[in-house]
């Protein structure tokens, strides 16, 4: 579990990364409240968009008088609207996200990064913590004070190892849905992604991972402890077993990757080693899960 | 079915539990929290059985190690297969001492069970059974165990203790170094039998009471027999004894014997009975429970004293000391003369005689010098060193005289043998010496006289022991007729009149109309009657390496097993060696 010092350290790393990277807010058009990003409709921004004939009810301030002088017909000058992006953050806070210190730190860094990135872009963020079938909306104001960690600890699902129940997560239309999860649960990614992309949502999946999970050096007999269920299982790990495990691991994430491509979701696996900004530049930007701030 | 040349090699199978133990001990060594248990469970195969077995299934090194142990055990055990037409020769040397008769049934049972083991892995068995007494005929020669056991029903062990070495040597030569020689006896021994023989002891300690001997005396004109009864056992015993004659049986009389004790029973020999049996109540060893007796009557010896008056006293003493000797006045019918030699009348008797020099001067000096006895049966074991004799006149010495005793260069006693007559010549005057105080003198004279009695052809009635040699003089030219009956009067087989039958009996030897010998033979070997040392001993039937190699052939696939063993070890090593991670995580 993380203490306040670790949370502050993670917050610091996230702030540094958020100064250089942000969610792909610019790569899409937005609808909604006025803000800093170009909306899909016409607005009052300075960005010229198009011309069209005047129709009754149009704002006469946007009549192109120079065109009227040349043509004698009313022509409307349309400008792009500037709106505030909408981001829904679904944070998986199951035990597997925090059971190893480096992975816990990376999870917290990504959580802080998304929140701080949205805040910097003026996006409205709705955060939902999920663990098993339990879901808990989180007030974004609790993020900066690190009190969100208290909320995490309050989540007590009946089956902690169950996949997140995204049906309980309120998703807003036209929002970027950021799913922060290590995806280490037994579930078909297809329905989950279908759910995340509903109502014109754009999905970004940030998945922290450990080298110890992807390529363990197990050999011999082990009593494996499941941190989510608290179970103990004995296994004999032979080279053949290890090889099959690695294949299963790769297949699991290949399945997620394929499903993400099918649903036009940006899928980036974030290793827990190295500095956050470095790994985000290396993994998330090429996957178009993040974009650089110009 | 294979046989194993080195069964100890199967101990390598103990490596299996060791490997399994190591395997499971390794299992308990590491405890690890892991977040990808659901992925790990995908890798698990279908379990065939319980939890532990499930974990064993995917372990290639374990299976290879177990296979390696099995192959190693197989190779170390040296599996061999039976060779067709192989023969195992077995020679049995049977202890023919009388005590073996007690364990006759046990002996057949034990042999019946041990002979198949002696056959080993050979396809056929050749058996030869010999008596431990070398000159006895073979008991059996053949290939059938059943026929051998049947032959033992006709075999009667009745002898005394016997040294089996000669028969064991013969048996070893019969079966050569590759065969098995088994000495079958009833008494175990710490020392191994010679000639690489095995020993099978089939006895058990048995309490036995029996007659060990008999003697006769005459008291007040009556012939008294005295029999010794011994309890050979280690606990007190109660018996009864009675006298059986042709007329009937006496009332049984109780007899209490402490452990190891000797008791004498005696009675007057029935005057009108020819054959008498003293019978003890029976036990497991029956041969010493009956004592057949006849009234002994040695050959009579006629004694003629032809001496000067100085030797009359000595002659009378000698005549009185001889058993069944009668003094006769007819020199022609005398068997033994006692004569003195006077140089004034130097005529010696022609027949067998005891001759003493008579020196009337009595002035000779004491003889000096070492006294040396010649090696002769008459002088065997006699001590003459305390003899003191004076120098006297000497007998005229003949060419064929044999000096029996010397003092320095002077012969003191001579033996003269001439045309069937034997004369014992004392070449000094006994009355001028202390010879009458010498035990050696008495023994010498008795040996001499008994030799004459033995050479005499005359009827004799004796009590013998079973198997005792019979020294019988018969007239040449006529055949001997001999017969024997057991104590109950039933005729028994008796083939060699030079030796008494080997079981208690009455016997008779006749020549023409003269009964030369009438005798009773009783069992008189207390060594065989003592069955407390009998016991059980099984031979170590490990089988010789040479016999195994001769009867079987090695596993023709042993090279394949060695290659498989190496392969299994290589595979186990390959899968056990630690590996570096080579798979990149999925992006």
Domains of chain B (ranges plus CATH)?
3-78 (no CATH), 87-205+533-551 (3.40.50.410), 301-455 (3.40.50.880), 460-521 (2.60.40)
The highest-confidence range among A233-237, B27-31, B291-295, by mean pLDDT, is B291-295
- Banded model confidence at residue B47, pLDDT cuts 50, 70, 90: very low
What is the distance in angstroms between the Cα of A267 and the nearest Cα belonging to chain B?
10
CATH number belonging to domain A4-28+85-292: 3.40.50
Q: Is the pTM of this model over 0.90?
A: no
Cα–Cα distance, B500 to B482 (Å, whole number): 11
Per the CB < 8 Å rule, is A223 touching B28? yes
pLDDT tens-digit profile of B348-365? 888 899 999 988 887 889
> What residues in B contact A238, CB-CB < 8 Å?
58-61, 575
CA distance B552 to B558: 15
Contacts of B581 in chain A (CB under 8 A): 215-217
Q: What length does chain A have?
A: 294
Residue B34 tokens, joined: 């892991």
Residue B247 CB coordination number (10 Å)? 8
pLDDT in tens, A40-62: 455 555 556 677 888 888 778 87
Residue A238 to chain B, least CA–CA distance (Å):
6
Short-list A99, A125, A91, CA closest to A2:
A99
The model's confidence at residue B95, banded by pLDDT at 50, 70 and 90, is very high
* Sheet bearing B421-426, strands edge to edge: B325-327, B301-306, B336-341, B353-357, B421-426, B410-418, B402-407, B371-373
Instruction: Give one DSSP letter per residue of B296-342, joined into a string.
Output: -BPPPEEEEEE--GGGHHHHHHHHHHSTTEEE-S-GGG-SEEEEEEB
Determine, for residues B33 and A211 on separate chains, whether the beta-carbon distance falls below 8 Å.
Answer: no
Q: In chain B, which residues have their Cβ closer than 8 Å to the Cβ of A223?
A: 28, 30-32
| A252 has a chain B CB within 8 A of its CB | yes
When scoring A101, A209, A218, A236 by the number of chain B Cβ atoms within 10 A, the one with the most, hence best to mutate, is A236
Does residue B24 have a pLDDT over 80? Answer: no
- Which of A106, A183, A224 to probe by mutation at the B interface, max B CB count within 10 Å? A224
**Calpha distance B127→B117 (Å, rounded):** 13
Instruction: Indicate the range of A183-187, B50-54, B384-388, B429-433 predicted with least confidence.
Output: B50-54
Residue B587 touches chain A, beta carbons under 8 Å: yes
**Nearest chain B CA: its distance from A245 CA (Å):** 6
- Average pLDDT rounded to a whole number, residues A78-106: 84
* Binary contact (B27, A220; C-beta < 8 A): yes
Sheet of B124-131, strands arranged across: B140-142, B124-131, B87-94, B180-185, B198-202, B536-537
Between positions 24 and 63 of B, the ones with CB within 8 A of A are 24, 26-40, 42-44, 51, 55-56, 58-61
Average per-residue pLDDT in chain A? 85
Q: pLDDT value at position A62?
A: 79
User: What Å distances lie between residue A170 and A29, A167, A202, B62, B127, CA to CA?
Assistant: 22, 8, 15, 54, 102
Distance CA A36, CA A22 (A): 14
Indicate the pLDDT class of residue B551, thresholds 50, 70 and 90. confident
| Rg of chain A in Å (alpha carbons) | 23
Touching check for A199 and chain B: CB below 8 Å? no
Whether residue A38 has pLDDT greater than 70: no
Residue A227 touches chain B, beta carbons under 8 Å: yes
Residues on chain B touching A225 (C-beta within 8 angstroms): 31-34
Determine, for residues A248 and B29 on separate chains, whether the beta-carbon distance falls below 8 Å: no
In the predicted structure, residue B296 carries a pLDDT above the cut 50: yes
Asked if B35 and A252 come within 8 Å (Cβ–Cβ), the reply is no
Q: Note whether A254 contacts B: Cβ–Cβ < 8 A.
A: yes
Task: Count A/B contacts: CB-CB distance under 8 Å.
Answer: 116
User: Cβ–Cβ of A99/B35 closer than 8 Å?
Assistant: yes
Residues 415-474 of chain B with CB under 8 A from chain A are none
Q: Could you give the count of Cα atoms lying within 13 Å of A82 in the half-sphere of its Cβ?
A: 10
Q: What is the pLDDT of residue B28?
A: 58
Q: State the nearest Cα–Cα gap between A67 and chain B, in angstroms.
A: 55
3-state secondary structure of A41: strand
The CA–CA distances, whole Å, from A168 to A133, A137, A181, A187, B50 equal 8, 10, 16, 16, 41
CB contact under 8 A, B59 and A234: no
Residue of B nearest to A160 (CA): B35
- Taking the CB of residue B276, how many other CB atoms lie within 10 A of it? 21
* Position with higher pLDDT, B61 vs B194: B194
Q: Which residues of A touch B35 (CB under 8 A)?
A: 95-96, 99-100, 182, 184, 213, 227-228
pLDDT at B381 over 90: yes
Enumerate the residues of chain B whose CB falls inside 8 A of the CB of residue A96: 35
- Spatial separation of the C-alpha atoms in residues B148 and B154, rounded to whole Å: 10
Confidence category of residue A39, pLDDT binned at 50, 70, 90: low
**Interface touch A219/B42, C-beta < 8 Å:** no
Please tell me which of the candidates B43, B58, B581 has its beta carbon nearest to residue A215: B581
Tokens coding B468: 């005792």
B60–A240: do the CB atoms touch at under 8 Å? yes
Which of A97, A222, A259 to substitute to test the interface with B, most B CBs within 10 Å? A222
Question: Given an 8 Å threshold on Cβ–Cβ distance, is B585 in contact with A250?
Answer: yes
Mutate to test the interface with B, among A215, A221, A254 (most CBs of B within 10 A): A221
Question: How would you classify residue B185: left for phi > 0, otherwise alpha for psi between -120 and 50, otherwise beta?
Answer: beta
- Higher-pLDDT residue of A284, A53: A284
Query: Across the interface, which of A215, A222, A231 has its CB nearest the CB of B32?
Result: A222
User: What is the Cα–Cα distance from B563 to B74, expressed in whole angstroms?
Assistant: 13
CA distance B570 to B414: 97
Q: Which of A185, A220, A283 sits opposite B30 (nearest CB)?
A: A220
| Percent of chain B surpassing pLDDT 90 | 55
**Cα-atom radius of gyration of chain B, to the nearest Å?**
40
A234 to chain B, any CB pair closer than 8 A? The answer is yes
Q: Touching check for B188 and chain A: CB below 8 Å?
A: no
- ipTM, 2 decimals? 0.79
Whether A223 sits inside 8 A of B35 (CB atoms) is no
- Give the model confidence (pLDDT) of B439-493 as tens digits: 999 999 999 999 999 989 999 999 999 989 998 888 888 889 999 999 988 999 9
Cα B48 from Cα B59, distance rounded (Å): 14
B133-161 as b/e: b if 16+ CB within 10 A: bbeeeebbeeeebeebbebbeebebbbbe
Q: Coil, strand, or helix at residue A44? A: strand
| Segments of chain A assigned E as strands | 21-22, 34-53, 75-83, 86-92, 124-131, 134-138, 176-180, 202-209, 220-226, 231-237, 266-271, 291-292
For residue B548, the tally of other CB atoms under 10 A from its CB is 19
Q: Whole-angstrom Cα distance, residue B372 to residue B263? A: 44
What pLDDT is recorded for position B29? 55
What's the CA gap between B229 and B260, in Å, rounded? 10
Interchain CB distance below 8 Å, B579 and A219: yes
Which chain B residues contact residue A289 at CB under 8 A? none
β-sheet bridge partners, residue B114 = none
CB contact under 8 A, A218 and B32: yes
Residue pair B548/B120 in contact by the 8 Å Cβ criterion: yes
Q: Where do the domains of chain A lie?
A: 4-28+85-292, 34-83
| Residue B46: band (very low, low, confident or very high) from pLDDT cuts 50, 70, 90 | very low
> What pLDDT is recorded for position B49?
33
Q: What is the mean pLDDT of residues A273-292?
A: 92
Using pLDDT thresholds of 50, 70 and 90, give the confidence band for residue B372.
very high
């Amino acid at each position: 579990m993380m203490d306040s010092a670790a949370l502050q350290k993670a917050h610091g790393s996230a702030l540094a990364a958020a100064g250089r990277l942000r969610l792909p807010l610019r790569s899409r058009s937005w609808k909604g409240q006025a803000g800093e990003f170009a909306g899909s409709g016409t607005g009052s921004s300075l960005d010229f968009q198009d011309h069209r004939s005047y129709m009754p009810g149009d704002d006469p301030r946007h009549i192109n008088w120079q065109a009227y002088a040349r043509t004698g017909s009313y022509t409307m000058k349309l400008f792009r609207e500037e709106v505030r992006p909408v981001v829904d953050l679904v944070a998986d806070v199951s035990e597997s996200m925090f059971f190893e210190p480096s992975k816990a730190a990376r999870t917290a860094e990504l959580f802080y990064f998304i929140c701080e990135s949205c805040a910097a872009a003026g996006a409205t963020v709705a955060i939902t913590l999920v663990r098993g079938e339990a879901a808990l909306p989180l007030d974004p104001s609790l993020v900066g004070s690190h009190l969100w960690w208290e909320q995490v600890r309050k989540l007590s699902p009946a089956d902690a190892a169950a996949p997140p129940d995204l049906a309980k997560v309120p998703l807003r239309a036209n929002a970027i849905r950021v799913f922060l999860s290590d995806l280490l649960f037994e579930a078909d990614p297809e329905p989950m992604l279908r759910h995340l992309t509903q109502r014109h949502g754009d999905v970004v999946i940030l998945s922290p991972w450990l080298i110890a999970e992807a390529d363990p050096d197990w050999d011999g007999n082990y009593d494996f402890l499941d941190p989510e269920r608290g179970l103990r299982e004995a296994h004999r790990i032979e080279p053949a077993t290890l090889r099959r495990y690695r294949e299963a691991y790769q297949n699991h994430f290949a399945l997620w990757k394929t499903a993400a491509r099918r649903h036009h979701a940006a899928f980036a696996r974030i290793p827990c080693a190295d500095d956050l900004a470095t790994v985000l530049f290396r993994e998330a930007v090429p996957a178009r899960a993040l974009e650089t701030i110009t | 079915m294979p046989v194993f040349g080195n069964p100890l090699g199967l101990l390598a199978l103990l490596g299996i539990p060791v490997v399994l133990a190591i395997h499971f001990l390794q299992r308990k060594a590491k405890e690890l929290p892991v977040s990808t248990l659901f992925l790990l469970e995908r890798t698990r195969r279908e379990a065939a059985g319980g939890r532990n077995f499930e974990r064993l299934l995917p372990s290639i090194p374990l299976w290879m190690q177990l296979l390696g142990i099995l192959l190693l055990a197989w190779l170390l055990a040296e599996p061999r297969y039976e060779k067709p037409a192989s023969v195992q020769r077995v020679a049995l040397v049977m202890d023919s001492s009388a005590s073996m008769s007690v364990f006759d049934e046990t002996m057949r049972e034990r042999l019946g069970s041990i002979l198949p083991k002696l056959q080993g892995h050979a396809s056929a068995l050749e058996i030869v059974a010999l008596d431990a007494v070398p000159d006895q005929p073979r008991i059996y020669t053949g290939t059938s165990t059943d026929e051998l056991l049947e032959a033992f029903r006709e075999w009667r062990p009745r002898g005394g203790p016997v040294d089996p070495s000669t028969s064991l040597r013969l048996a070893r030569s019969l079966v050569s170094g590759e065969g098995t020689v088994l000495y079958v006896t009833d008494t175990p021994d710490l020392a191994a039998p010679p000639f690489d023989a095995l020993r099978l002891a089939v006895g058990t300690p048995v309490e036995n009471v029996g007659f060990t001997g008999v003697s006769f005396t005459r008291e007040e004109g009556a012939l008294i027999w005295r029999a010794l009864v011994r309890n050979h056992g280690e606990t007190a015993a109660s018996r009864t004894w009675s006298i059986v004659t042709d007329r009937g049986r006496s009332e049984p009389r109780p007899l209490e014997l402490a452990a190891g004790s000797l008791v004498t029973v005696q009675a007057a020999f029935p005057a009108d009975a020819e054959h008498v049996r003293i019978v003890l109540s029976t036990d497991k060893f029956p041969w010493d429970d009956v004592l057949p007796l006849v009234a002994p009557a040695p050959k009579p010896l006629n004694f003629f004293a032809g001496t000067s008056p100085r030797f009359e006293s000595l002659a009378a003493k000698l005549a009185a000391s001889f058993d069944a000797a009668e003094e006769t006045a007819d020199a022609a019918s005398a068997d033994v003369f006692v004569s003195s030699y006077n140089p004034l009348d130097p005529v010696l008797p022609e027949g067998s005689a005891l001759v003493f020099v008579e020196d009337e001067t009595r002035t000779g000096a004491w003889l000096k010098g070492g006294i040396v006895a010649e090696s002769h049966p008459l002088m065997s074991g006699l001590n003459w060193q305390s003899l003191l004799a004076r120098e006297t006149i000497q007998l005229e010495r003949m060419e064929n005289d044999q000096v029996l005793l010397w003092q320095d260069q002077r012969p003191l006693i001579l033996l003269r043998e001439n045309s069937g007559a034997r004369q014992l010549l004392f070449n000094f005057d006994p009355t001028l010496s202390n010879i009458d105080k010498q035990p050696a003198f008495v023994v010498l004279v008795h040996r001499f006289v008994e030799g004459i009695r033995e050479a005499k052809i005359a009827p004799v009635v004796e009590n013998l022991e079973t198997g005792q040699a019979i020294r019988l003089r018969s007239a040449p030219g006529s055949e001997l007729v001999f017969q024997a009956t057991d104590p109950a009067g039933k005729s028994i087989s008796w083939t060699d009149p030079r030796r008494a039958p080997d079981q208690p009996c009455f016997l008779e030897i006749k020549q023409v109309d003269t009964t030369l010998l009438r005798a009773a033979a009783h069992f008189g070997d207390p060594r065989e009657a003592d069955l407390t040392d009998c016991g059980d001993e099984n031979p170590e039937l490990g089988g010789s390496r040479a016999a195994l190699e001769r009867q079987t052939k090695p596993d023709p696939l042993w090279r394949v097993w060695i290659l498989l063993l190496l392969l299994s070890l290589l595979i186990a090593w390959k899968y056990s060696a630690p590996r570096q991670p080579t798979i990149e995580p999925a992006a």
